[in-house]
Amino acid sequence: MIAEKRSSLRSKLRSIVLLTTFAALLVAGGAMAIYEAQTYRQSGLSDLATQAEILGRASAVALSFEDAPSAKAYLSYLRAKPGISAAAIYNAKGALFESYTPEGASTEIPKFPEADGERVENGSLVVFKRIVNNNEILGTVYLREKYELWERLAGYLAIVGAVMVLTLLGVVVLSSKLHAAVTRQLQAIVGVAQHVMERRDFSLRAKKISNDEIGYLVDVFNDMLGEVGRRTETIESANAELKREVHERRLVESALGTTQRRNSMLVAASSAVVWSADGEGRFVEAQSSWSAFTGQPEKDYRALGWRAAFHDEDAHVLQSAWTSATEGREAFSRELRVWHNDSGRYRYVNLRAVPMVETDGRISEWIGTLTDVDDRWQAEQGLRELNAELESRVAARTSELEAANKELESFTYSVSHDLRAPLRAITAFSKLLWDGHAEQFDAEARRKLEIIRSEGGRMAMLIDDLLAFSRLGRKSIQKVDVDMTQLVHSVFERLSSQHEGPKPQFHMAQLPKAHADRTLLEQVWVNFLSNALKFSAKREIPVIEVGAITDRSEHIYFVRDNGAGFDSRYKAKLFGVFQRLHTSSEFAGTGVGLALVHRIVTRHGGRVWAEGDIDAGAMFHFTLPIEDTSDGRV
């Protein structure tokens, strides 16, 4: 089939070349024949006319001098040209002067000359030519020549025919060689194409021999093979992929079937309520667990009827939750009240709904659960109520306490204040009595009077301390930077100068500066240091140490002495008002000082505590928070 086509292509090419060449030769030959005929006629006539002219000129003298033999001799030269069939010279009168016919020919000579001219007549060229010399007509030359157009053309056409035959033969030989050059390339392509068809081997390539259009065809063919190969490969791999995917899908489908069966069994077996709805939230399938919980028959919960099972007050909560979940395509859960058929009341449940969102964003289905959280809800509710009650009770108690505190303070203040007037009267009159009547009393009376006076003085001190303490509750704190080292030093100097008894050893480290109310802080140190002096006074060598430790958030100042100490069981009581661990006969004091210290330190945001044991000395600590004073913040 292919070979047949190939040979037909070759023969077509050959026919094209041959026909083209033949047509070209035919046209060229025909044109040349026509041209030749024309030329032959023209040149024949023109030659003959020229010959007549020459003959005329040559025989002019002969005519002039009536020399017939001479004219005959001229005419006889025409023998050299066999084509001449007749020739004649006529004189000026038009009479035949001399004539010529080749031997063996019997051509008739015209009796009279005709006008000047050339023409073709009966297969002959005929020329009449006047002989003119020196403006005189001497006679006429007549020439007749055989006009062998057809013989001439026949010879010419024979040559053209021979040339055509030779050319066509050459063309056949040449074209078969050239065709070989063309068809070799095509054969290569066809061969490769056959192999590709038979073996489906797209790696084969046709060999490129030439750089012409067929060479380009080879390139294109090869490219096409490459492309087909690649495509085939792609298709095959896609097929394999598809097969794999189909297989996987089958597996997934069977797994899905299993899962679905398991799910439906699970739902049926579960005591919890599981429900499903369509994309718009309508119940479209039988919901056995829903029905069991709410007591709604199927006709009631169908479509949106299921919502009627919820408490009226929760309807809008459900609606808004559902709407926002639909818009956001996300799951939601709400605690709502739903009718519980068995208990005959609404119970709190956790309603949970999950949308199944398709790839196009559409919600195809909702799946949800109801979980009974009523018991927990009830417990939480009790707890909430209890807490609220407790809080309100605490608040009430606190305000009661605050009011009592206030009342107490104002009472204390007013008592202290009001007590001073009668006390002053007592002490003043006691003094008057002592001053004016002392010698009138006996010793016993004077002793008792002395007691009245000293107790009156003590009471005045007590009242002053109480006033100071209660005033502290009202006073605002003016914080400044305080050089604690310097403050402690001055306080100790002042106190020790008034102190009676052995001179104590006093050790003080460098103390960190504090940011506090200087006056109040001075009172703290006065209290601590006077206590230390007081309780260590009975030692042979009293030792008082003051120091400080600074940690990240606060300065911890301390005062330590080697005095009487205290029973550590009662250290919590140390800082109460009028709390005394020693009798005032042992150690003087009102019992207000440490309460005052406690109040001052607490108001500065610090803490105060004491360590010690009986006869083992005491150590008092107080802290002040580290405040950044550089930028003035408080």
Partner 1 sequence: MRPVWVRLLSVVALAWFACTPVHATPDDEIAFGMERRLKAAFIYKFAQYIEWPADAFASPAAPLIVGIVGADSIAEELQAATEGHAVKDHPIVVQRIKPGASIAAIQVLFVGKSEAARLSHWLNAVNRRPVLVITESEDALEQGSTINFTTEERRVRFAISLASADRNRLRIDSRLLGVAQRVYRTQ
Please give the C-alpha separations between residue 180 and each of 15, 295, 347, 453, in angstroms, as whole numbers. 15, 98, 101, 157
- Least distance between partner 1 and beta carbon 140 (Å): 14
- Least distance between partner 1 and beta carbon 78 (Å): 17
Residues of span 123-142 touching partner 1 by CB under 8 A: 133-137
CB-wise, 55 or 491, nearer to partner 1?
Answer: 55
Residues of span 252-311 touching partner 1 by CB under 8 A: none
- Least distance between partner 1 and beta carbon 30 (Å): 48
CB-wise, 58 or 556, nearer to partner 1?
Answer: 58
- Least distance between partner 1 and beta carbon 83 (Å): 26
- Least distance between partner 1 and beta carbon 53 (Å): 15
If we measure between CA atoms, which residue out of 139, 144, 146 comes closest to residue 127?
144
Residues of span 50-109 touching partner 1 by CB under 8 A: 58, 60-62, 64-67, 70, 91-93, 95
Start-to-end CA span in the chain (Å): 111
If we measure between CA atoms, which residue out of 370, 368, 335 comes closest to residue 353?
368
Site string for partner 1, 540-569 (x = CB under 8 A): ------------------------------
Distance of CA 305 to the CA centre of its chain: 46
CB-wise, 136 or 285, nearer to partner 1?
Answer: 136
CB-wise, 92 or 182, nearer to partner 1?
Answer: 92
CB-wise, 95 or 480, nearer to partner 1?
Answer: 95
CB-wise, 75 or 353, nearer to partner 1?
Answer: 75
- Least distance between partner 1 and beta carbon 61 (Å): 4
The region that residue 582 occupies, defined by phi over 0 for left and psi between -120 and 50 for alpha, beta otherwise, is: beta
At 193 the three-state DSSP class reads: helix
CB-wise, 136 or 245, nearer to partner 1?
Answer: 136
Element (H, E) at 479: strand 479-482
505-508/543-550 β-pairing: parallel
Query: Tokens 């060689």 map to which residue?
Result: 177
- 241: tokens are 């992929």
CB-wise, 136 or 253, nearer to partner 1?
Answer: 136
Burial pattern 403-421, b for ≥16 Cβ within 10 A else e, equals: eeeeeeeeebbeebeebee
Neighbours of 178 (CB within 10 A): 14
d(CA 100, CA 87): 5
Q: Read out DSSP for 110-146? A: PSS---SEEEEETTEEEEEEEEEETTEEEEEEEEEEE
Neighbours of 28 (CB within 10 A): 13
Element (H, E) at 565: none
CB-wise, 90 or 275, nearer to partner 1?
Answer: 90
- 410: tokens are 């104002």
CB-wise, 136 or 481, nearer to partner 1?
Answer: 136
Q: Read out DSSP for 566-632? A: --GGGGGGTTSTT--SS-TTTS---S-HHHHHHHHHHHTT--EEEEE-TTS-EEEEEEEE----TT-
- Least distance between partner 1 and beta carbon 45 (Å): 27
- Least distance between partner 1 and beta carbon 94 (Å): 10
CB-wise, 133 or 496, nearer to partner 1?
Answer: 133
- Least distance between partner 1 and beta carbon 126 (Å): 25
Helix ranges restricted to H, 272-356: 288-294, 298-301, 315-328
- Least distance between partner 1 and beta carbon 63 (Å): 9
- 369: tokens are 């659960």
The torsion defined by the Cα of 608, 611, 615 and 617, in degrees rounded to 10, comes to: -70
DSSP state of 363: E
- Least distance between partner 1 and beta carbon 109 (Å): 17
d(CA 471, CA 467): 6
Neighbours of 465 (CB within 10 A): 20
513 and 481 Cβ atoms separated by less than 8 Å: yes
- Least distance between partner 1 and beta carbon 77 (Å): 13
62 and 131 Cβ atoms separated by less than 8 Å: no
- Is 449 a residue that touches partner 1 (CB under 8 A)? no
**Residues in binding contact with partner 1, number by CB under 8 A:** 18
50 and 39 Cβ atoms separated by less than 8 Å: no
CB-wise, 134 or 271, nearer to partner 1?
Answer: 134
CB-wise, 71 or 482, nearer to partner 1?
Answer: 71
CB-wise, 135 or 510, nearer to partner 1?
Answer: 135
- Least distance between partner 1 and beta carbon 97 (Å): 9
d(CA 499, CA 493): 10
CB-wise, 130 or 334, nearer to partner 1?
Answer: 130
- Least distance between partner 1 and beta carbon 90 (Å): 12
- Least distance between partner 1 and beta carbon 41 (Å): 33
CB-wise, 32 or 61, nearer to partner 1?
Answer: 61
282 and 304 Cβ atoms separated by less than 8 Å: yes
Give the residues lining the site for partner 1 (CB under 8 A). Answer: 58, 60-62, 64-67, 70, 91-93, 95, 133-137
